[in-house]
Amino acid sequence: MVASTSASLRIDSRKFHGYELPAPGAPGHRDGARVGLERPLPEKVGIEASAQLRGKMATAGGGCVADPGSRSLLRLLSFCVLLAGLCEGNSVERKIYIPLNKTAPCVRLLNATHQIGCQSSISGDTGVIHVVEKEEDLQWVLTDGPNPPYVVLLEGTLFTRDVMEKLKGRSGRIAGLAVSLAKPSPASGFSPSVQCPNDGFGVYSNSYGSQFAHCRAFQWNKVGDGLAYEDFSFPIFLLEDENETNVIKQCYRDHNLSPNGSAPAFPLCAMQLFSHMHAVVSTVTCMRRSLIQSSFSISPEIVCDPLSDYNVWSLLKPINTSGTLEPDDRVVVAATRLDSRSFFWNVAPGAESAVASFITQLAAAEALQKAPDAATLPRNVMFVFFQGETFDYIGSSRMVYDMENGKFPVQLENIDSFVELGQVALRNSLELWMHTDPMSQKNETVLNQVEVLLSTLEQSGAGVPTVVLRRLNQSQPLPPSSLQRFLRARNVSGVVLADHSDSFHNLYYQSIYDTAENINVTYPAGQSPEEDLNFVTDTAKALAGVATVLARALYRLAGGASFNDTIQADPHTVTRLLYGFLVRANNSWFQSILRPDLRSYLGDGPLQHYIAVSSPTNATYVVQYALANLTGKVIDLTREQCQDPSQVPTENKDLYEYTWVQGPLNANETDRLPRCVRSTARLARALSPAFELKQWGSTEYSTWTESRWKDIRARIFLIASKELEFITLIVGFGILVFSLIVTYCINAKADVLFITPREPGSVSY
């Protein structure tokens, strides 16, 4: 480990060519905000010389006055020096280090058998910075560089499995990795997920559709390299801000880059990364340790937490949620997923892998709710937004478990049909593919039900010019989908709608590049944020077409016939949702649909869709309130009545959810018009049944946990040579010994050195 010698080095702030770091964020914590800083940035970048420090301490201590005749002089002087040190200590640290504000770490995740992710040592890992802009630059880090260990600043296009395997193989020379975002996104694609997502937790196994198990038919995510499922012994951070990346590169050029490939002269620019993880080995190990701590310790140290959040669900017609439906009540289920992930913690834009799908379903729910006879349809419709599907179907497996055990109002036997939206934003030639399960269709009853389902979808799409429904060969398996978890429990007639017939069209599946640009959400230059919010993009029009098909199909499946052609999804709803979830969450519409106490959940950037461990997450809340406002009704209740509807005889909390929201701005745009929204939008726990059953080694249910940590941060500074460090240590030790000797001598001779003058006595004659 390379240590810093702060007392003799100085960075000239002019060498950074005026780059200014962004304002610091909040300290690194467990959920919601980006990993930030502990303190504000220094006004002036630099490491002050020891002479300046001593001068400041002397100035601070100059006000201390002692009686030269007092024997407590040394104690008083020591107190003055200590006081000066306390006054100046924080300032000195701020001049030594340049904190990095906009970073995202790779953290440790665990399941029943493995640990994946990254971590640093308990005191952080420090290394000399080396910028790698092409693969040939790795030679210096791996073999040639004379000052290991190194922290590699890696260009985003080089963040591949091949390069990471090389770095992992020489971990003794690697202290850590900082990855910059590639702009534009890598043309060949980048997906750190596996090629067969959620393998082993879907419906296909050696006993059911063995020919489809483990993606034997074909790999769904062809560009997946599995990088996010590897375990690294060094910390890896994402640099999200280009300005900070430029500051680091400038420091590297000024101090670490030498001509002709010779060894650079000290001082060198270094980086320190803190991301020590508490949990190790597997979920079984960390949960057992946490349980033991909780049982025998007054202040237990929990080392990991299950990944969990909430599913969002609503019904077209309200039902009494205090009980369960009768067996002959039929419900059509419309489902999609809420979550995504990437290699880095809480950086999960998920534009194609999740956002486009649940936005489409929100628009379909709004369109269906507006049908004149929606409240009188023979069958009910349930909209479900599953959370945690990325990690072995957490949300759907929990809902199935609750349905089987009578803990959810709708039971498995109530499900009439199941329509799921997969990835739908990257369609070729307007085609939308209908995926079904070939194994369940060996049952003739299910086969006939699936045929009715497919025919209904085709009829519903006939009047929508922007969508063409396509059937697939019945021998093709289902893609990774929540429907698979329901099929594990019961033969359900279901279909998954997706923009791909076989492998994903999404080249950035579960990666940092699955952003708005990936699904072609762009806006004309020069528009204000409010104009962007309401600008209907081509992607919004295309997704509105899919939402129209879905809403019309659900209407038919629920028994409707009279108003099918009048059901139409609103492109303006879709475009506002796209802008809010993928571009800027803090916008006027999102503000109007949330409770006043949730305003802080809306940041100036897009929402992230990692499931996390503290719940509900920001995105879950926003989806719930968007669903409530799109499908609910504004009712005339006061704030107190809305928060406690039991005061109103005509309202029923078992049938509806009541929410007091901020509402839109008034005509003068100075105040908001708050209101009460009544809807059926609710939350249901999305925690794997494995943790409720304490089956931490389960192969039936998801067992993913996230390690806890104490501190996550990154900073750069200058380091001295080992020789100078050694000299500084020896000199410091010598001064310590000398001061002890002097102190001892003064204390031993105190009676001689500090003689108190004798009081003049009375003279007698």
Domain boundaries defined on the chain: 93-189+224-287+710-718, 307-582, 724-753
Do residues 599 and 591 lie in contact, with contact meaning Cβ atoms separated by under 8 Å?
yes
450: part of which helix (H) or strand (E)? helix 444-461
DSSP 110: E
Q: How far, in Å, CA of 357 to CA of 367, rounded? A: 15
CATH superfamily of 307-582: Zn peptidases (3.40.630.10)
pTM over 0.85: yes
Length of the chain, please? 765
User: What's the rounded Cα separation, in Å, for the pair 498 and 528?
Assistant: 34
Determine the Cα–Cα distance for residues 626 and 602; give it in Å rounded to an integer: 13
CB 402 within 8 A of CB 465: no
∠ at Cα 621 (539, 689), nearest 5°? 105
Q: How far apart are CA 304 and CA 709, in angstroms?
A: 9
| Cβ neighbours, 10 Å, residue 210 | 12
pLDDT in the model for residue 9:
40
In angstroms and rounded to an integer, the radius of gyration of the C-alpha atoms of the chain is: 32
* pLDDT in the model for residue 44: 31
Pairing of strands 705-707, 304-306: antiparallel
Q: Are 380 and 555 in contact (CB under 8 A)?
A: no
Q: According to the model, what pLDDT value does residue 705 have?
A: 98
Q: Are 167 and 175 in contact (CB under 8 A)?
A: no
pLDDT of residue 742: 93
Low-confidence ranges of the chain (pLDDT < 70): 1-90, 756-765
